[in-house]
């Protein structure tokens, strides 16, 4: 059964959280129980989650705010190693279901693309991100286990995955290379599932 605090946070797609409020939702605790699940790779520096009955996960994705606000009014945020910085805040809640996918491409400065059959994407929901379990980056076209994730943003910010500290307040979120995030379901920031091979193979 879900804990009341997480039920409240899951309903916060419309809640006007400040960074301080988001931190209070569930502060970074370095995977202390009950949010002790580990993927075994770099995602663990900015996620905390717990196993759910049935094999899924529920948890939190964290961001660090850079202090820059874009010209269209979005505070710039990025992932960080929350074990190394003191100012990580909840950016999203997530739910995840176990799945398998094959790495088909690793774009520069973006999430790796994974191939999944449409029928393997959990329904209902807005599952748009696959992340593997285990230390090593998957080999191309090797099918690997992991989790398919659905994200719900709890705050409003400009998410820049890489080089967020170069963002300039004189530019819009988009012109800074970011994605506008508003409270609610987020299919854009971490989208990395494809259902046909982009190489045509």
Q: What is the pLDDT of residues 11-47, one digit of tens each?
A: 333 334 444 455 458 999 999 999 999 999 999 999 9
How many domains does one find in the chain? 1
Q: SS3 letters for the chain?
A: CCCHHHHHHHCHHHCCCCHHHHHHHCCCCCCCCCCCCCCCCHHHHCEEEEECCCCCEEEEEEEEEEEEECCCCCEEEECCCCCCCCCEEEEEEEEEEEEEEEEEECCCCCCCEEECCHHHCCCCCCEEEEEECCCCCCCCCCEEEEEEEEEEECCCEEECCCCHHHCCCCCCCCCCCCEEECCEEECCCCCCEECCCCCCC
In a domain, 42, yes or no: yes
In a domain, 162, yes or no: yes
In a domain, 49, yes or no: yes
In a domain, 200, yes or no: no
In a domain, 199, yes or no: no
For residue 160, is pLDDT > 80?
yes
At residue 110, the pLDDT reads 84
The domain in which residue 21 lies consists of 4-194
pLDDT for 39-88, tens place per residue?
999 999 999 999 999 999 999 999 999 999 999 999 999 999 999 998 99
In a domain, 201, yes or no: no
At residue 201, the pLDDT reads 62
In a domain, 70, yes or no: yes
Model's pTM, two decimal places? 0.86
In a domain, 64, yes or no: yes
């Amino acid at each position: 059964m879900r804990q009341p605090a997480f039920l409240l946070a899951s309903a916060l797609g419309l809640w006007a959280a400040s960074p301080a409020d988001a931190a209070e939702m569930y502060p970074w605790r370095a995977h202390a129980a009950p949010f002790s699940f580990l993927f075994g790779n770099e995602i663990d520096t900015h996620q905390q989650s717990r196993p759910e009955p049935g094999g899924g996960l529920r948890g939190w994705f964290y961001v660090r705010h850079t202090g820059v606000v874009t010209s269209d009014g979005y505070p710039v945020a990025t992932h960080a190693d929350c074990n190394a910085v003191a100012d990580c805040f909840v950016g999203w809640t997530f739910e995840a279901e176990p799945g398998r996918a094959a790495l088909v491409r690793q774009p520069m400065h973006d999430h790796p693309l994974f191939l999944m059959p449409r029928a393997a994407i959990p329904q209902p929901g807005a599952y748009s991100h696959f992340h593997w379990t285990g230390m090593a980056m998957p080999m191309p076209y090797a099918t690997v286990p992991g989790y398919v994730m659905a994200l719900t943003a709890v705050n409003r910010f400009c998410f820049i995955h890489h080089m967020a500290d170069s963002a300039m307040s004189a530019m819009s979120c988009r012109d800074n290379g970011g994605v506008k995030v508003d409270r609610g379901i987020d299919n854009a920031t971490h989208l990395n599932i494809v259902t046909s091979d982009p190489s045509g193979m």
